[in-house]
A and B are shown apart, each in its own frame.
Chain A
Amino acid sequence: MIWFACKQCGKRHGRPDNLAGTLVFCECGQGNRVPWSSTVSEPEPVEEPLVPVPPVPPPRARSEPGGFDLPPLRRRPGERRQPDPAYCLNHAEVASEQTCSDCRCPFCAACVTTLQGKTLCGPCKNLRIRRLSRPAHVSAMAIVSLVVGLIGFPVAFFLTLYAVGQQVLGKSAAGSIVIWLMALAVPAVALTLALLALREIETKPQVGGRSLAAGGAVSALASLLHSITLAILLFLRD
C-alpha cells in the first residue's frame, strides 16, 4: 500500500502498489499523482467503541393485521410492470373506465380520446396521427412497371415495325408473328405490373407512386395499341 497526502488539503490517501503513477482526485477536487513509494506514514487504525444495535423486528406481511405498508418493490431493468386493470395506467389512484383500442391498456376518462371512431390513449393517438402524416412510401412495383413500360415502348415500336417490314417484303408469316408476339410481351408485363401496383396503392393508404404506375400503364397501353393496330391493319390488307 502506498500512502501519500493531498497537495491541497493534506488529507492522507492510500492506494495499492499497482496503482503507482495513476491520478486520483481528492475530495477537495485536487488531482494527485500516486507516488512510487509512500510519502507519508501509514495512519494508525482507529478503534471505534462498539455501539449495541437494537434488534429489528421481522416485517409482517400486508395481509396480517397491523402489517406494514411496505414500499413497492423497484423494478429491475427490462422488467415490465404489470398494470392493474382496475386502475388507470397514468393515475394509479383513479379507477379505469376505458381501454385503449390499440395498446389495450386501462385508462380513466381523462386519459383517452376518440379518433376515427376508436378510443385511444395519448401516445397511441399521436402514433396514429404521425403515421397518417407520414409521406407514403413508393411502391416498388410501380417503379418497376414504369421502367419496364418505358423500355418496352421503343422495343415494341421497333419490333412491330420490323415484323411489318418482314411481312410486307413477303418473308415468313410465322417469323413475323413470333416477332410481333415478342413486341407485345414487354408492354404486357409492364401493364400487368402497373395494374397490380395501382391496386396496391388504392387499397393501402400508406403506399404511394400512383403517378409512376400510371405512367407505366400508359406507356404500355400506347405500345400495345400501336402494335395491335398495325397487326390488324396488316391482317386486313392481306
Chain B
Amino acid sequence: MLCAGCVDHALESGETTPEKARAHTRQAILALCFGIGAWILSGGFLLLLALVAHSSDALMVGLLFLLVVIGNALLAAAGVGQALAALRTRGNHMILATAGLILNGLYLGVLVGLFSNPRGFLE
C-alpha cells in the first residue's frame, strides 16, 4: 500500500516497476538458456558427426547437423533479442543477461564466419 506521494517519487526516480523487474529476470534467464542450448546442441551434433564420419550415415548426419546449426542460429538470434531487452530494462540480473548476450552473439558470429568462408564455397 503506497500513498500518492511515494508513487510519484518512485515514478520520478525511474524506479523499476515489479512488472519490469519480472520481465528483466525472465529475459535474462531465457537469453542464457538459449545461448547454452544452442552451443550444447551444436556441440553434441558435431560430436555425433565426428563419430559417424567414416560410416555410411555420415551424409545424413551432416545434413541433420546443418539443419540443427541453422535452427540453433534462430535460437541464438532470439536469445540475443532477449538479452538486449533485459539489458535495456536494467535490473538485478545484468550478469546473466550479459552472459546470454555473449553466448548467443558468439554463436551467431561463429556461424556467419563459418558459412561466409570463401574457401568452403568458392574453391
Q: In whole angstroms, what is the CA distance A129 to B5 when docked?
A: 12
Asked if A116 contacts B8 (CB within 8 A), the reply is: yes
How long is the Cα–Cα vector from A230 to B122 in the complex, in angstroms?
A: 10
A214-B84 contact given A153-B70, A234-B122, CB 8 Å threshold: yes
- The range of chain B's interface size is 20 to 34
Q: Within residues 1 to 15 of chain B, which ones have a CB less than 8 A from any CB in chain A?
A: 4-5, 7-8, 11-12
- Chain B residues lying within 8 Å of A125, measured Cβ to Cβ, are 4
B63 shortest CB reach to chain A, Å: 13
The residue that A218 contacts in the complex, of B12, B80, B86, B88, with Cβ under 8 A, is B80
Those of A189-238 within 8 Å (CB) of chain B: 208, 210-219, 222, 225-226, 229-230, 233-234, 237
* A43 to B80 CA separation, bound complex (whole angstroms): 92
Q: How many residues of A contact B (CB 8 A)?
A: 39
Which residues from A are CB-within-8-Å of B122?
Answer: 164, 168, 233-234, 237
Closest Cβ of chain B to A228, distance in Å, is 9
Report the minimum CB–CB distance from A73 to chain B (whole Å).
36
Identify the closest chain A residue to B104 (Cβ). A218
Residues on B with C-beta less than 8 A from A150 are 74, 77-78
What residues of B have a CB within 8 angstroms of the CB of A219 in the complex?
A: 73-74, 77-78
Q: Does A41 contact B (CB under 8 A)?
A: no
Query: Which residues does chain A contribute within 8 Å of B27, judged by CB atoms?
Result: 211
Q: CB within 8 Å of B: which residues of A?
A: 113-116, 125, 129, 132-133, 135-136, 146, 149-150, 153-154, 157, 161, 164-165, 168, 208, 210-219, 222, 225-226, 229-230, 233-234, 237
Mark B residues whose CB is within 8 Å of A: 4-5, 7-8, 11-12, 17-19, 23, 27, 30, 70, 73-74, 77-82, 84-86, 88-89, 108, 111-112, 115-116, 118, 121-122
